Structure 1
Amino acid sequence: MTTMNTSIAKSFAAPSISRAAASALLAAAHAACAEIGIEAAIAITDAGGHLKAFERTDGAAFLPVEVAIDKAWTASSFGLATHTWNALLTSDPKVAQLAHRPRVVAVGGGCPIVENGQLLGGIGISGGNYLQDQQAAEAALRALGFDVAA
């Protein structure tokens, strides 16, 4: 019987968005949507893609609920904004297979939540057109001092 090395690290600390920050980001996103003039669903996921906070304005349709959650999930999955996925899915045959994943969303409105280069989760907004959703998500991130990819 061989002896295993017991000095190896068996776990690591993983950064993730706090409940308080998720709530504050939800409020900032709601304000950004109101300023743009859209009724929307807003979802915040943690670094593992699990729903952390959610809100839907009174006038938002029901379809944006799942779309917003999936935008946040997509953004947190690889730390990439959803508006970048369309080019990725069409440019590389190996990446194109991800287009068949039911939750991957390749239109604007989903952004990774990043602080000091560390992925904390994702935000997804759905209710306006793809550019309005993207602008609202980016405005919310900026309002709280999170990194926004260029």
Structure 2
Amino acid sequence: MTSTPAKSVSTPNISCGAALELIAAARAAAKRLGVDMAVAVTDTGGHLRAFERADHAPFLVAEVAINKAWTAASFGRPTHVWNEIVQSPEVSPLNHHPRMTALGGGYPVVENGQVIGGLGLSGGSSAQDQQAAEEALREMGFEVK
């Protein structure tokens, strides 16, 4: 008897509740740093799951945070590593993708070794965005790549 290959796969995704908790953890980390930020959480497909922009954060940071989360979820890597990666001729065309964001502050949300979403923070320096994202992920018990 031959087995029929599966026609679909089950993909784990961050729950709405966990996405909202991650937003709250990131908000608290940004507050500790004294920075008004936008925070975005996506599912594994890069679709927005939860979002918040601080009252005094510039409106541009909203789109940047969402695109950082999208980039991190898409490739399962933090966004700050992409400046080095896109120097390679094989992947340099990704520089021209309108959503690709190679600024620090985007991280895959990883649970038990699997990417279940993306987190993007924007509003501070790249170092501040990264720090707040890492603090939030660790507080929630997610792996930090």
Bin for the TM-score computed over the shorter chain: over 0.9
Alpha-carbon distance in 1 for matches of 2:8, 2:66: 28
Give the number of aligned pairs. 144
Match of 1:27 in 2: 24
- Give secondary structure in 1 for the equivalent of 2:10: coil
**Aligned with 1:121 (options 96, 105, 117):** 117
Q: What amino acid maps onto 2:58 in structure 1?
A: A
- Give secondary structure in 2 for the equivalent of 1:30: helix
Match of 2:13 in 1: 16
Question: What is the aligned-residue RMSD (CA, Å)?
Answer: 1.0
- Give secondary structure in 1 for the equivalent of 2:82: helix
Alpha-carbon distance in 1 for matches of 2:113, 2:126: 25
Alpha-carbon distance in 2 for matches of 1:78, 1:49: 10
Q: What amino acid maps onto 1:28 in structure 2?
A: A
Q: Percent identity?
A: 57
Give the TM-score normalised by the residue count of structure 1. Answer: 0.94
Deviation of 1:6 (Å): 7.4
**Aligned with 2:68 (options 66, 71, 78):** 71
Match of 2:102 in 1: 106
Whether 1:138 and 2:115 are equivalent positions in the alignment is no
Q: What amino acid maps onto 1:71 in structure 2?
A: K
Deviation of 1:8 (Å): 2.3
Give the TM-score normalised by the residue count of structure 2. Answer: 0.97
Alpha-carbon distance in 1 for matches of 2:50, 2:8: 26
Question: Which has the larger Rg?
Answer: 1
Alpha-carbon distance in 2 for matches of 1:7, 1:103: 37
Q: What amino acid maps onto 1:72 in structure 2?
A: A
Q: Please list every run of at least 4 consecutive aligned residues from structure 1 whose deviation after the TM superposition is greater than 6 angstroms.
A: none
Q: Which runs of 5+ in 1 are unaligned?
A: none
Match of 1:84 in 2: 81
Q: What amino acid maps onto 2:96 in structure 1?
A: H
Match of 1:49 in 2: 46
Q: Which runs of 5+ in 2 are unaligned?
A: none
Deviation of 1:141 (Å): 0.2
Q: Deviations over 1:118-148 (max 9, x none)?
A: 0001000000000000111111000000000
Alpha-carbon distance in 1 for matches of 2:71, 2:7: 28
